[in-house]
Amino acid sequence: MAPGECVNSTPWHDLSMQDAQLHQPPTRPYRWWLWLVASQLVVAWVWWRLGWQIGLPFMVATHLPFWWGVLWPYSRMYGPVLSRLPGDAPRVWLTIDDGPSADTRTLLDMLDAHDAKATFFLVAERAAARPDLVKEIVLRGHDIGNHSNRHPQAWFWALGPRRMRDEISSAQTTLTDLAGRAPRWFRAVVGMSNPFVQAPLRDLNLARVAWSARGFDGVGRSADAVMSRLKPSLSPGAIVLLHEGGADGRHIEVMRRVLEILEDRGLRAELP
């Protein structure tokens, strides 16, 4: 092997560039404050000059982009987010949220059978209760991601800076201890990322990941309903959002069908 090359003959500097394109932790987590202050100064001027009848609706309108940045999973208003792999290589990134669970070993066996790799975005409290599964995920060549400490899905979007930092930092500490290496990727709970997510991500060198293929398998839909929505999106570069831990076993059935479709379409499930 020639110096400066890796096993797939891609120069190391090209790999570094590819990784830098994908893995982008926030660098300016407080930049949104400038936009907020500037917009409200304009609101104050409009209110003063034109009265509350115009100033009030104008103030509401200036807040809408900030709400959009919280509620839209792909919004880059508060910081970078990866929602698709670049290029047209025949590969996808399988991401599995909410584990570990009773499904984990079965999912691992299915992935092994198809020579597929995935990133498991783990909830730290659940991981601490099943440390053997975290170790098995890593030993089988898969990756783990940070999916919060307690998975507060009803109010994650509304957490303040202190509680948000605790959710992310505590999870990072727990998962690092269990896996023997620090997660590099973070997925916001329910995909919603408020302004206070960015500072802990920067400090922990975490990059936020969304998705481009989603079948809503986490909300009780049948495998048929999930696949009818998911199947058209399974294309080169897709980041596929899946879940584990459902009581009815539908997540296992969805994974089985996804892996079969990927195989039929000549798509490899790889880690980024």
> How far is 128 from 122, CA to CA, in rounded Å?
10
pLDDT tens per residue, range 21-31: 799 999 999 98
pTM of the shown model: 0.90
**Position 7 pLDDT exceeds 70:** no
118: exposed, middle or buried (Cβ count in 10 Å: 0-12, 13-18, 19+):
buried
Question: In a 10 Å sphere around its CB, with 0-12 CB exposed, 13-18 middle and 19+ buried, how is residue 122 labelled?
Answer: buried
- What is the per-residue pLDDT for 110? 98
**How large is the average pLDDT for residues 136-157?**
97
pLDDT tens digits, 184-205: 999 999 999 899 999 999 999 9
Exposed/middle/buried for residue 266 (C-beta within 10 Å: 0-12, 13-18, 19+): exposed
CB 237 within 8 A of CB 267: no
Cα separation, 60 vs 63, whole angstroms: 5
The more confident residue out of 15 and 136 is 136
What's the pLDDT score for residue 13? 39
Q: What is the pLDDT of residues 88-123, one digit of tens each?
A: 999 999 999 999 999 999 999 999 999 999 999 999
- Mean pLDDT value across residues 121-143: 98
Least confident of 39-43, 121-125, 137-141, 176-180: 39-43
- If one compares 58 and 243, the residue with the highest pLDDT of the two is 243
Instruction: Band the pLDDT of 18: cuts 50, 70, 90.
Output: low
- 3-state secondary structure (DSSP) of residue 95: strand
Judge whether residue 12 has pLDDT over 60.
no
Q: Give me the sign of the Cα torsion angle 246, 252, 253, 258.
A: positive
CATH dotted code for 91-269: 3.20.20.370
Q: What pLDDT is stored for residue 247 in this prediction?
A: 77
Token pair, residue 107, equals 């999912």
Burial (Cβ within 10 Å: 0-12, 13-18, ≥19) of residue 138: middle
What is the per-residue pLDDT for 3? 35
The two three-digit tokens of residue 218, written as one number: 């986490």
pLDDT, averaged across the chain: 92
Identify the pLDDT of residue 249.
84
Per the CB < 8 A criterion, the answer to whether 104 and 244 are in contact is: yes
Q: Indicate the range of 74-83, 130-139, 149-158, 243-252 predicted with least confidence.
A: 243-252
pLDDT digit string, tens, across residues 223-258: 999 999 999 999 999 999 999 998 788 999 999 999
Average pLDDT of the segment spanning 124-151: 98
Above pLDDT 70, what percent of the chain? 93
Helix/strand/coil for 98: strand
User: Does pLDDT of 14 surpass 50?
Assistant: no
Question: ∠ at Cα 93 (243, 66), nearest 5°?
Answer: 75
Asked whether residue 15 carries a pLDDT value surpassing 70, the answer given is no
